[in-house]
Homo-oligomer: A and B are copies of this chain.
Amino acid sequence: MRLSGGVESALHCCVALTAADGPVPAARLAELHGVSATYLAKHLQALSRAGLMHSVQGKAGGYVLTRSPEEITVLDVVEAIEGPRSTFVCTEIRQRGPLAVSPDDCTVSCVIARTMTAADRAWRAALREVSIADLRSAVGEDHGVDVLARIGDWLRSPLP
């Protein structure tokens, strides 16, 4: 079970966008982070479809966060990229084979499904407690408070 690599790029983009005032094109975000521009575009589209950011087309277009960084959680980004489906899908093995239990006796879900779902919920709860604003302030603590300002300046600077 490996998380899609696009999640990492998407989270970095969200943090970077908090330092920008206007729309930022996907190509510029890709250059800033040193990742494939065309592939990053795919993930930004997913974030746009999920309503986390809003895209403006045309010459001075790009992506803008729709909500304030405090109101966007890491879980929002993960679910936008990975889809809302749970990590575990129960195939009802208990209802198969020679000793299958009848559907009438399956009012509660299978124990294994309950266990995996509980773990899934714990995972999601941990991701929901961290917002983009939290990430941004932590980046400031880790690498200096002016890092975000430098990113903002670079995003605003014209192309060579």
Which residues on A are within 8 Å of B, measured CB to CB? Answer: 1-5, 7-9, 11-12, 31-35, 74, 82, 85, 87-91, 93-94, 96-101, 105, 108, 111-112, 114-116, 118-120, 122-127, 130, 135, 138-139, 142-143, 147, 150-151, 154
* Copies of this chain present: 2
Which B residues lie within 8 Å of A118 (CB)? 126
Question: When A111-B135, A126-B118, A138-B111 are in contact, do A2 and B99 touch as well, CB less than 8 Å?
Answer: no
Ordered by A's residue number, 11 sampled pairs between the chains whose C-beta atoms are within 8 Å are A1-B82, A2-B89, A5-B89, A7-B88, A8-B88, A9-B93, A74-B116, A94-B143, A115-B127, A115-B135, A119-B127
Question: Could you tell me the distance between the alpha carbons of A87 and B78 in the complex, rounded to whole angstroms?
Answer: 12
Interface contact B33-A93, CB-CB below 8 Å: yes
Known contacts: A3-B87, A97-B32. The answer to whether A126 contacts B122 by CB under 8 A is: yes
Of B99, B126, B139, which contacts A119 at CB under 8 A? B126
Determine how close the nearest CB of chain B comes to the CB of A98; give it in whole angstroms. 7
Chain B's closest residue to A123 (CB) is B123
Contact A8 to B139, CB < 8 A, known contacts A1-B2, A2-B1, A126-B122: no
Contact of A116 among B3, B90, B98 (CB under 8 A): B3
- Cα distance, A130 to B55, chains bound together (Å): 45
| In the complex with contacts A32-B97, A32-B99, A123-B125 CB distance below 8 A | no
Distance to closest chain B CB from A143 (angstroms): 5
Contact A88 B3 (CB under 8 A): yes
